[in-house]
């Protein structure tokens, strides 16, 4: 079986981290689940001086994670990340021995606002910029045939089960 990196992507508030934490408790994801923010995320001001700005940093972080995970021998790894599918695919070309699967988690703007404001206490993220980012990711997912899961009316357990269904090749 060819090794695989699963990218769980989406805008803030869709449930990426919570779902990854739930999956991480089960095989094969125990010790094989990674969170892109663990390398540190620059402030918006720091991103502005990064070559290529925020996009340049995001592309670098995607390439960094692919290289890091490609060094590991585990058959399956899960990476929770806020990145563009169009950055993942070229980064994976550097690791032809590994397959990748991208799953986009989505939610409505009202659910995102509630989760960010009430549950995460990060109202500064519930803004038009985040909504535009979510729309952008949806467009890329559509253009590239990336599977997506709408999380609005699902429990964390149901989203995790839908992710697992995608990984088996079933459509949620």
Q: What is the mean pLDDT of residues 52-80?
A: 92
Superfamily of domain 3-168: P-loop containing nucleotide triphosphate hydrolases (3.40.50.300)
CA distance 5 to 141: 17
CA distance 112 to 108: 6
Report whether pLDDT(172) > 60.
Answer: no
pTM of the model: 0.91
What does the pLDDT look like over 113-149, one tens digit per residue?
999 999 888 888 878 888 998 999 999 999 999 999 9
Query: What residue segments make up the domains of the chain, in order of their start?
Result: 3-168
């Amino acid at each position: 079986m060819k090794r695989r990196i699963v990218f769980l992507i989406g805008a803030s508030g869709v449930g990426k981290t919570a779902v990854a934490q739930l999956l991480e408790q089960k095989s094969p994801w125990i010790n094989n689940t990674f969170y892109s923010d663990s390398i540190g995320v620059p402030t918006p001001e720091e991103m502005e001086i990064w070559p290529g700005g925020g996009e340049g940093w995001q592309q670098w972080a995607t390439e960094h994670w692919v290289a890091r995970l490609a060094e590991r021998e585990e058959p399956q790894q899960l990476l929770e990340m806020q990145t563009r599918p169009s950055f993942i695919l070229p980064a994976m070309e550097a690791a032809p021995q590994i397959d990748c699967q991208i799953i986009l988690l989505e939610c409505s703007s009202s659910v995102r606002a509630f989760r960010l404001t009430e549950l995460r206490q990060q109202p500064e993220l519930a803004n038009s910029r985040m909504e535009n980012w979510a729309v952008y990711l949806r467009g890329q997912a559509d253009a590239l045939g990336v599977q997506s899961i709408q999380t609005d009316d699902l429990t964390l357990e149901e989203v995790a089960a839908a992710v697992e269904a995608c990984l088996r090749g079933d459509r949620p």
